[in-house]
Structures are given as C-alpha cells and as structure tokens.
C-alpha cells in the first residue's frame, strides 16, 4: 500500500490544473489536513518533492494514507470551502480556532408595534436592527441597562407586554416609558426608538446635543421636571461612551486583530470598534500542531490568515480589519470576506497614526495574555501530572469530564458535565442533561447518573462508529461513592467503553472538604494528602460541576415557575389571555370559573370556554 509522499506522487498525475480543496487522510480514515490551492496539481506536487519548510508538514506527509479533492470555479470559492471544512472536520494539522461561539449583540426588534431592546446571540433571524459584536455578555448587559435609562425602551417579552394592566417596576425607576399601558403615544415611542438607533449607529453626539437643546428650552420655560428627566437621559448616554477605555476619533467600524507568538504558542487579540466606540476585546489561543518558531514569515502569516478565515465564519464582518502582521494571500482573503458579507471589506496593516496605535495596543495585550497563559499552563500541567500519579493513569489526562446531578425531591432534575484540561476549564464544552426518564423514582441519584452517562457515551460510540471526530475523555469523575461508581461502570460496560478511567469522589463526613474518599474499580477506597495541591484541584473540579448542575437546575425550575397554564391552551393567544386575566385576576381564578362565565369574556366563544374549563379538569 502506498503511503506518504508516494501516494501524493501517485495522485498528482490525475489532478487538474484548477482551483480546489484537498484533504489528507490518515491511517484510520481521519482527516489530517485541509488545504486550498489556486492549482491543485501545482500545489499538491510540492508535498511529493520532500522539501518541507517545517517538521509539522513533514510529519503530516509521512502520516498520509489517502487524499480527497474537490474542484471549484475560483480560488475564492476554494478558500471559503476550506474554511467550512476546517471548522467541520477539525483536522489535526490545521491551525484551529478553539472558541468560535458567536458574540452577543444588541437588538432593537422591528416586528412589534412597540419595538423591544434586548441582548441577542446567534443568527439574525428576528427582524430588527443589530448592533455589535460586544466582547462579553457583561458588556452588553451594562450597555442595555444604560440605554434603557437613556431611551426608555421596553425590554419585556411580548407575552408580558400584552398582559400588563399597569406599569411595571421598570417604569417606576425611570427605565421604561410604559408603552404597554399607553403612557407614551406610539409616535413618541417610535421617536425614542429612532434616537436609540442613531445613538448606536455612531451619531451619539448629535443625539446628545439635540436632547441638551431640548433640556435648555424646557428649563427656560420653567418646566423643570421634564428638563430633569432629559438630564438623566443625557447622563445615561454619556455613561455608555465614557466607560469605553479607548474611543478612536478616526475609526468608526473596525476589528483590530494582533498576534503574538512565543514558545510554540500563539495568542490573537481581537478588539471590536463600532459606532466610534470600543466595545471590548477577547483573547484567542489557536491550536497549533507542532512548534511555531516565529511570528514573522510564512508560518506566522499562515497562522493569522487561518485565524481570520475561521473567526469570520461565524462572526459579523466589519468594513475594515486592522492586523498586526501581513497575512498569507491577504487580497484573496479580503475578496472572500467581501463575497461572504455582501460589501467591500478591507484588510490593512497600518504603519503610522492612530490606527497603528490601536494595533500596537492590541499587540501589547496579546503579548501579556500569552505570558499569563504560559505561566498558568505550567502550573496546570503539574496539577494534571499529580492527578495521573494519584489515580495510576498511564499518561497525564488531557480531558477530564466531571458529572453531577441537581434536583429538589426529584423535580426539575438536571445532570451537569464540566470539562477541564491543560487549558483549565473548557466552558465551551460544558453540557447539561435534562433528566427525561419517566420510570425513575423521584430522587433516584443512581438512575439519574445512569441516564446521563448513557446519553453521553452512546453519542460518543455513535460518532466513533460513523468516523466522526468526537471528544473522548481520559478521566471521568463522578460526584458520589461506590454506588454511583458501580452504576456508571455498568453503563460503560454495556456500551463497550472500557478504556476510560472512572473515579467516584465522595464527600467527607459532614461534607468536610479535605476528607474526600476516592473510589476506583479494583482499588480500595483511598484518600489523598489533606494539603495536597492535587486534592485542592480535584475539589475545584467537583465544586465547578456542582455549581454548573445547580445553575442548570435553577434555570429549569425558574422556567417552570414562570409558565402560565393559559399558554398551553389552544386558541388562547396574548389578547384572550390578557382579557381572561383581567376578568378573573389570575390563572387560578380562570381555573375555577364556569364555562358560562368564561364565555362572557370578550373574544372567548362557547367552544373555547368549554375547552378552557375541560383543560383545568383533565385527569
């Protein structure tokens, strides 16, 4: 069987001189690398010549057992396809962006007579105006709170809006103009919406000046109360702009992206500038297969280019992207991003002036963030080595999964899974499992743990049988003692997953930290040295799993508590719901009403009245 450079030479003879994407396949059918080429024939033949720039490329060619190809009409299409395949397949030898979740934005909905302002994350599927991205949910929440004070827009859901009969607390504390009960006319409310739109679009100074002029006119007319309300709104607007650490004068909309490479690791800092304001920044640490020696040169250019392609696969693309280094095929990348966004996108490496200062600031942050991460990684590695020694593992665990359940007397039961490894807590990998089985006895912790682990590892087995990449833990920690451990081992044996270490962590007497007992198959229960750093680390893992499971349980319980039984009755929409609640005071009052009384409510027919009556008396 041909392998390595031989199979590549064999493939070259049949390749077209056309743009496309190629995939290198390993011994077990896994995708090692995805690349694109202006000419497949000319690009792939370079791998067969045996002259490699780095050990990473040499190792990749050596492991290649097959290749797959897709031709495209243009090189730009090849680049976009390459980005999609890298995100989907996560090849071992590509530079991978580990955290690609979408950033939060601010949305002003336009599909309601009283537009709502709210935080939004994900696809732009709701009609309205989107502003962002913001680097964190905290930044969005802070800004939305300030905008509520400044423009008095509602943030409540449509169902709450339709059922209000009097102003809520937000109106009392001057953060909403109460359009739900018509304390503001539709025309005046839409004027507030347009002011908020202009402010978030970069016209903040014009909006503030207009309101300041109105405030002065009211003060001169001795309408001091109305003038004071405008003063408070202006202060709220000012707080949004003043809280930003850097507000450039000449950059209205741009992302500033800087990369620093050291010790074979890389950090990419992204700063978001929108409407002339700094909306936050975030550090990324792309996964690199093999060492990267320098941030300059072909490898550095390729790294930053790969980051841009994957980053903007799921993020909004600005008109201007400022970078700290020249990127590989920068013009092609700009063309691909322009095609994706539907407008011209410029990628520039500024040499002087304010834009250069912004890039230098981002580069300093990248350098400092990488230094902190390398220091933390060294300590984290020692902790994982301690875990390896404590549990007698063959190698240091790279992925630890920790499981815990949370419920109250068996209700709203939720299982939580957290993930930790060399990079610390991998919060993007956390998962919650709503307990679905109807056969479990309320409070059956063993049964709940069986369900959670069966669902988790059934998915793992299914993915592996289909040849799909799926994260496999090196160590599983269970919150509990021998009973929980036996339940989990039973599930793992049924699924044929017998090569993963499983450890039960039982709390000490009176739940004292430091007196935990550990349970493993084939070993007597044991304890670790009370002041051992490894023990402290395992306690942190257990506590994080407990925190996550409790949070998921509380969220589910809150949702159930907020449910109104009227929402589940066919034919009862927001209008009829509001009329019923106004007539009977509450859902409990509706449940006690006779059909003839229900039928007296406006919009409720005799058939619907009977349906409502029957709903509350069903077995």
CATH of the domain at 425: 3.30.420.340
CATH of the domain at 11: 3.40.1440.10
- pLDDT (0 to 100) of residue 551: 85
Is there a domain that residue 164 lies in? yes
Confirm whether pTM is higher than 0.75. Answer: no
Is there a domain that residue 248 lies in? no
- pLDDT (0 to 100) of residue 504: 93
Is there a domain that residue 381 lies in? no
Give yes or no: residues 427 and 552 share one domain.
Answer: yes
Judge whether residue 362 has pLDDT over 70.
yes
Give yes or no: residues 556 and 408 share one domain.
Answer: yes
Confidence of residue 485 (pLDDT cuts 50, 70, 90): very high
Centroid of chain to Cα 600:
49
Pairs from 110-116 (Cβ < 8 Å, separation ≥ 24): 112/158, 112/161, 113/186, 114/154, 114/161, 114/179, 114/180, 114/186, 114/189, 115/153, 115/190, 115/193, 116/153, 116/154, 116/155, 116/156, 116/157, 116/158, 116/161
Segment 72-88 mean pLDDT: 85
> How far is it, in rounded angstroms, from Cα 449 to Cα 435?
9
Is there a domain that residue 390 lies in? no
Give yes or no: residues 447 and 571 share one domain.
Answer: no
Give yes or no: residues 436 and 550 share one domain.
Answer: yes
Q: What is the largest CA-CA distance in the chain?
A: 93
Query: For 102, which DSSP code?
Result: P
- pLDDT (0 to 100) of residue 30: 86
Is there a domain that residue 389 lies in? no
- pLDDT (0 to 100) of residue 301: 65
- pLDDT (0 to 100) of residue 294: 42
Judge whether residue 291 has pLDDT over 50.
no
Centroid of chain to Cα 481:
33
The residues pairing with 418 across neighbouring beta strands, listed in sequence order, are 402
To which residue do tokens 């289909």 refer?
Answer: 466
CA distances from 567 to 483, 576, 606 (A): 42, 10, 19
Judge whether residue 293 has pLDDT over 50.
no
Confidence of residue 28 (pLDDT cuts 50, 70, 90): confident
> How far is it, in rounded angstroms, from Cα 489 to Cα 523?
14
Segment 416-424 mean pLDDT: 89
Q: Which of 219, 242, 265 is the last residue of a domain?
A: 242
Give yes or no: residues 544 and 404 share one domain.
Answer: yes
Residue 381 CB: number of other CB atoms within 10 A? 12
Q: Which of 372, 392, 412 is the last residue of a domain?
A: 372
Give yes or no: residues 408 and 467 share one domain.
Answer: yes
Judge whether residue 80 has pLDDT over 90.
no
Give yes or no: residues 407 and 555 share one domain.
Answer: yes
Give yes or no: residues 477 and 548 share one domain.
Answer: yes
Q: Which residue range(s) make up the domain with 575?
A: 565-615
Closest by CA position to 445, among listed 414, 476, 490: 414
> How far is it, in rounded angstroms, from Cα 292 to Cα 300?
8
Segment 390-410 mean pLDDT: 86
Is there a domain that residue 278 lies in? yes
Judge whether residue 248 has pLDDT over 70.
no
DSSP string, 551-604: HHHHHHHHHHHH--GGGGSTT--HHHHHHHHHHHSSHHHHHH--HHHHTTSTT-
Q: H or E stretch including 384?
A: helix 353-391
DSSP string, 220-283: HTT-HHHHHHHHHHHHHHHHHHHT-S---SS-SSEEEEEEEEETTEEEEEEEEEETTEEEEEEE
**pLDDT tens per residue, range 93-136:** 887 776 656 678 889 998 888 999 888 887 788 899 888 777 67
Is there a domain that residue 264 lies in? yes
- pLDDT (0 to 100) of residue 559: 67
Confidence of residue 246 (pLDDT cuts 50, 70, 90): low
**pLDDT tens per residue, range 158-206:** 888 888 888 888 888 888 999 999 899 999 999 999 888 888 877 767 7
> How far is it, in rounded angstroms, from Cα 50 to Cα 66?
17
Judge whether residue 480 has pLDDT over 60.
yes
Range with lowest mean pLDDT among 94-103, 324-333, 408-417: 94-103
- pLDDT (0 to 100) of residue 619: 43
Give yes or no: residues 19 and 166 share one domain.
Answer: no
Judge whether residue 330 has pLDDT over 60.
yes
Q: Which of 176, 208, 242 is the last residue of a domain?
A: 242
CATH of the domain at 270: 3.30.420
Closest by CA position to 232, among listed 220, 210, 215, 216: 215
Pull the structure tokens for residue 43.
Answer: 């690009």
Pairs from 121-126 (Cβ < 8 Å, separation ≥ 24): none
Judge whether residue 295 has pLDDT over 70.
no
Give yes or no: residues 530 and 547 share one domain.
Answer: yes
Residue 91, classified by CB atoms within 10 Å of its CB into exposed (0-12), middle (13-18) or buried (19+), is buried
- pLDDT (0 to 100) of residue 296: 43
The full 3-state SS of 310-348, as one line of letters, equals: HHCCCCCCCCEEEECCCCCCHHHHHHHHHHHHCCCCEEE
Judge whether residue 32 has pLDDT over 60.
yes
Give yes or no: residues 411 and 551 share one domain.
Answer: yes
- What is the pLDDT of the chain when averaged over all its residues? 83
The residues pairing with 287 across neighbouring beta strands, listed in sequence order, are 96
Give yes or no: residues 282 and 237 share one domain.
Answer: no
Is there a domain that residue 569 lies in? yes
> How many domains does one find in the chain?
5
**pLDDT tens per residue, range 574-593:** 888 888 888 887 777 888 88
Helix axes 137-151, 224-242, angle to 10 degrees: 160
Closest by CA position to 218, among listed 200, 233, 199: 233
Judge whether residue 18 has pLDDT over 60.
yes
């Amino acid at each position: 069987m041909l392998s390595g450079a031989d199979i590549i030479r064999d493939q070259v003879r049949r390749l077209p001189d056309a743009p496309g994407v190629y995939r290198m396949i390993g011994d077990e059918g896994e995708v090692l690398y995805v690349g694109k080429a202006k000419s497949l024939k000319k690009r792939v033949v370079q791998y067969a010549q045996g002259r490699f720039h780095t050990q990473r490329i040499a190792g990749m060619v050596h492991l290649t057992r097959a290749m797959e190809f897709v031709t495209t009409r243009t090189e730009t299409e090849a680049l976009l396809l390459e980005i999609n395949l890298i995100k989907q397949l996560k090849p071992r030898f590509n530079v991978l962006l580990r955290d690609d979740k979408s950033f939060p934005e601010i949305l002003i909905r336009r599909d309601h007579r009283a537009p709502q302002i709210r935080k939004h994350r994900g696809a732009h599927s709701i009609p309205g105006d989107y502003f962002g991205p913001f680097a964190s949910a905290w930044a969005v929440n802070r800004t939305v709170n300030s905008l509520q004070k400044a423009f008095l827009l509602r943030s409540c859901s449509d169902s709450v809006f339709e059922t209000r009969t009097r102003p809520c607390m937000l109106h009392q504390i001057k953060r909403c103009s109460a359009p739900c009960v018509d304390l503001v006319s539709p025309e005046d409310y839409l004027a507030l919406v347009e002011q908020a739109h202009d402010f978030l679009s970069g016209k903040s100074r014009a909006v503030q000046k207009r309101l300041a002029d109105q405030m002065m006119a009211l003060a001169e007319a001795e309408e001091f109360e109305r003038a004071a309300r405008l003063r408070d709104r202006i202060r709220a607007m000012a707080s949004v702009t003043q809280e930003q650490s850097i507000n450039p004068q000449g950059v209205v909309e741009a992302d500033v992206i800087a990369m620093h490479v050291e010790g074979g690791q890389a950090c990419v800092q992204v700063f978001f500038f929108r409407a002339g304001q700094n909306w936050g920044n975030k550090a990324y640490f792309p996964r690199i297969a093999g060492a990267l020696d320098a941030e300059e040169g072909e490898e550095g250019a390729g790294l930053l280019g790969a980051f841009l392609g994957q980053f903007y696969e799921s993020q909004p693309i600005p008109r201007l992207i400022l970078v700290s280094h020249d990127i590989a095929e920068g013009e092609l990348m700009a063309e691909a991003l322009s095609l994706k966004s539907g407008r011209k996108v410029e990628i520039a490496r500024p040499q002087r002036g304010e834009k250069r200062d912004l890039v230098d600031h981002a580069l300093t942050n990248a350098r400092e963030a990488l230094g902190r991460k390398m220091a933390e990684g060294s300590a984290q590695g020692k902790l994982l080595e301690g875990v390896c020694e404590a549990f007698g593992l063959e190698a240091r665990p790279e992925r630890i999964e920790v499981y815990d359940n949370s419920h109250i007397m068996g209700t709203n039961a939720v299982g939580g899974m957290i993930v930790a490894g060399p990079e610390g807590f991998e919060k993007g990998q956390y998962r919650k499992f709503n307990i679905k089985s109807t056969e479990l006895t309320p409070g059956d912790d063993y049964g709940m743990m069986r369900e959670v682990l069966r669902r988790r590892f059934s998915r793992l087995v299914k993915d592996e049988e289909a040849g799909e990449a799926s994260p496999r833990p090196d160590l599983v920690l269970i919150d509990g003692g021998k009973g929980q451990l036996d339940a989990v081992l039973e599930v793992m044996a049924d699924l044929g997953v017998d090569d993963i270490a499983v450890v039960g962590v039982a709390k000490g007497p009176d739940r004292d930290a430091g007196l935990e007992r550990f349970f493993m198959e084939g070993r007597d229960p044991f304890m670790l040295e009370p002041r051992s750093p490894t023990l402290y680390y395992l306690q942190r893992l257990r506590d994080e799993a407990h925190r996550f499971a409790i949070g998921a349980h509380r969220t589910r319980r809150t949702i159930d508590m907020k449910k109104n039984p009227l929402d589940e009755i066919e034919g009862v929409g927001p209008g009829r719901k509001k009329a019923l609640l106004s007539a009977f005071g509450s859902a409990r009052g509706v449940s006690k009403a006779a059909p003839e009384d229900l039928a007296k409510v406006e919009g409720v027919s005799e058939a619907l009245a009977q349906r409502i009556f029957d709903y509350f008396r069903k077995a």
